[in-house]
Amino acid sequence: MNKSLLVHDSEKLQLSKEVEQKLLDLQKKGIDVNGLILQMLNNRDVEIEKAKQEIVVEEIERSPANKEPSRYISIKIRKLLHSEHGTKCSIPTCNKLSSQIHHTQRFALARMHDPRFLALLCEDHHKIAHAIDVSVRGYAHRG
């Protein structure tokens, strides 16, 4: 049974002719192209997690306890986020371009830019995230 390369029912995976031909050539040789691609994707995930850990260590070493941390998010962190998440908003149902970096762990508490707790969002979803944060903080203070 020939399975289509579908991401969602309405979206097809777009491969260049060159990539498609190379995959077909490998498959004709009896090479498991699905396993090959899965291994490559898993290696990518491992590399990204390793880079995140290195950045966390750098962030901790760079920020003395008595100094106010910078709100500037380094180019290194920005590049890592884009290599992990691409250019679209992190909300799965949103297809807008990301234009904001949101701290899912409040910066005022963490006092660092931990890439494990940063999300690329479009402007609208960033506003929503902050509105939720404000309402949750207000509710916690009333409780």
139 pLDDT above the threshold of 70: no
Under a CB-based contact definition with an 8 Å cutoff, are residues 126 and 102 in contact?
Answer: yes
pLDDT of residue 140: 45
* Continuous H helices in 29-65: 33-62
Give the per-residue pLDDT at 99: 95
pLDDT digit string, tens, across residues 79-122: 999 999 999 999 999 999 999 999 998 888 888 899 999 999 99
Return mean pLDDT, the chain: 86
Q: Which residue in the block uniquely carries the two structure tokens 């090479």?
A: 31
Over residues 30-82, the pLDDT tens digits come to: 999 999 999 999 999 999 999 999 999 988 887 766 677 788 899 999 999 99
